[in-house]
Amino acid sequence: MTHDGFIPVAAPDLGGNEKAYVLDCLDSTWISSSGKYLDRFEAGFAEFCGARHAVACSNGTTALHLALAALGVGPGDEVIVPTLTFVATANTVTYCGAQPVFVDAEPDTWTIDPASLEARITPRTKGIIVVHLFGHPADMAAINAVARRHGLFVLEDAAQAHGAECRGRRAGALGDIATFSFFGNKIITTGEGGMVVTDDDAVAGRMRLLRTHGMDPTRRYWHPVIGYNYRMTNLAAAIGLAQLERVEWQLERRREIAAWYREELGQTDAVTCQAEKPWARHVWWMFSVLVSEGAAGRDSVMEAMRRRGIDTRPVVHPLHTLPPYADANRTQRFPVAEAIAGNGINLPTWAGLTREQVRIVCDALLECVAAVKTA
Ligand SMILES: *Cc1c(COP(=O)(O)O)cnc(C)c1O
């Protein structure tokens, strides 16, 4: 996991049945996009989320695209998206020919602000995408209430939040539909992979159709709609099933690591940790803090930590600042997201981290912040 004491920001753990299941795929020649591991991974993941259907696909981005396409999002529609998220959340709205409409973040959880959401709804709005950022669930009670009032769908982009809970219910069962990523640095991984979960039979059926070239399942090579090839392989699902068998262990480890970070950093006002609301179960995909020095100071802190062999990541740029989206959003203001993006650092968070490594990271962080303050 670590080389010469280097502490990475993320690292997968493949210590379960991954190897045995992959070898079974090779031995049986079931390496393409059907097989028992796909069936078992989909069924197991649906059960994990408490949802009726799980549709496996090639990554978290195609999961979002499948979900939006199956919900009927198309040209002329608007979809509300938090500006503080990974770019794929908005890009997939754009793939559908629709327009992402950005909303600011809440200052403590960093997720979409329900209070500023309603003002962005227009007659063209079709739905709301919430993102459980870094593993903290969005405030679903408030968001679902707004959505019901306006007849909008709610899609959870849960790429970073496998197992997160809001008032005792799991991500995947908190809105109308939810998407997950199994990229190498996510809470569980298949290398590359994604999943959409929903209770809606018709939407699940449309996603299965779109996932495999829009081919009628009862009539070979008859394609009533234009679909995609967004399938997952049985090989990837074999890794995913082994990961799913140990997901509760992953979540326990991350919870313990977050508690260590809070023990080390909770008392100082040199940094502010992302909150965990009383109604939420944060799954700590990335334990994250804010400094108060602004982007230049934050970047020097990260550079100084890297020189000490500790890898970190800056919080993403808000999407309204990126070239493809900046022009349409010039007149909008997103001060909370900009402050979080400018001051935010993701700290190393992965299952194998030790108490000692967390102490090393926190000592380095506090010393590097102090050095920037006096510089
Ligand atoms: C990782 C991620 C995605 C995209 O997932 P890929 O599997 O990399 O395509 C989408 N949304 C969010 C919030 C993510 O963190």
Answer yes or no: same fold for 18-245 and 247-374.
Answer: no
Tell me if the domain spanning 247-374 has CATH number 2.60.40.10: no
C-beta of 313 in contact with ligand 1 (< 6 A): no
CA 139 – CA 82 distance, rounded (Å): 13
C-beta of 315 in contact with ligand 1 (< 6 A): no
Span 242-289, pLDDT tens digits: 999 999 999 999 999 999 999 999 999 999 999 999 999 999 999 999
- Relative to the CA of 194, which ligand 1 atom is closest? 7
Q: Domain 18-245 adopts which CATH fold?
A: Aspartate Aminotransferase; domain 2 (3.40.640)
Span 142-186, pLDDT tens digits: 999 999 999 999 999 999 999 999 999 999 999 999 999 999 999
C-beta of 91 in contact with ligand 1 (< 6 A): no
In which band, very low, low, confident or very high, does the pLDDT at 2 lie, cut at 50, 70 and 90? very low
**100: CB partners within 8 A, 6+ apart:** 78, 79, 80, 81, 89, 90, 93, 94, 319, 325
C-beta of 111 in contact with ligand 1 (< 6 A): no
Tell me the domain boundaries of the chain: 18-245, 247-374
CA 147 – CA 140 distance, rounded (Å): 10
- Single pTM value for the model: 0.97
Give the tokens for residue 185.
Answer: 């640095």
Q: For residue 102, which of 80, 121, 122 has the smallest C-alpha distance?
A: 80
Distance 371 CA to ligand 1 centre (A): 34
In which band, very low, low, confident or very high, does the pLDDT at 337 lie, cut at 50, 70 and 90? very high
